[in-house]
Amino acid sequence: MRYEEELDNYDEINVTSMLDLAYVLLIVFIIMTTAAVQGVTVNLPKASDAPSLAKPKTKAITITADGTLFLDTFPVTMEQLESTLQQYRAADPSLPIVIKGDASVQYQSVVDVLAMLGRIDITQIGLVTQNLVK
C-alpha cells in the first residue's frame, strides 16, 4: 500500500520549469531575430569632388554686433535689403532665408528684419545658431 501512496504523489507533472525554459527560449529567439534584421545593405554611389554649378537658392542675412546688415557677403541697408529680396522673391516665390545674428546684437535689429520679411511675404525663414559641444 505504501508504494501506491507514493505513486499518488507523482500523478501530476510539474510543468513550471518547462514553461520557464520555453519563455527564455522565446525571448532569446525574439532578441536574435530583431538584432539580425537591421536593414538592407546597399552600395551607395560616390559624389563628385567637383563643385556644383547650381547656385544655392538660400539667401543669408547677417546682422553683425554693431547692427550692420549683410545679404550673403555684401553690406546693405534695410531699404536695399528689402528691394533686393523682393526681386529674388519675384523670381522664386519659395525663397528660403537664413538669418545669422551676432549674439550681442540688439534684439530689435532681428525683429526689424523679421518684420520686413513678413511684409514681402517670405515665410521660409531659419535662424542660425551654434551647436553646443558637451
Angle between helices 78-91 and 107-119 (to 10 degrees): 40
Please, what CATH class does the domain formed by 59-127 belong to? Answer: alpha beta
pTM (predicted TM-score): 0.56
What value, to the nearest 5°, has the Cα angle with vertex 88 and ends 86 and 91?
Answer: 110
* pLDDT per residue rounded down to tens, the chain (134 residues): 555 555 556 667 777 888 899 999 999 888 877 765 555 555 666 766 666 555 568 888 888 888 889 998 889 999 999 999 999 988 888 889 988 888 888 888 889 999 999 999 988 888 887 766 65
What are the residue ranges spanned by the domains of the chain? 2-35, 59-127
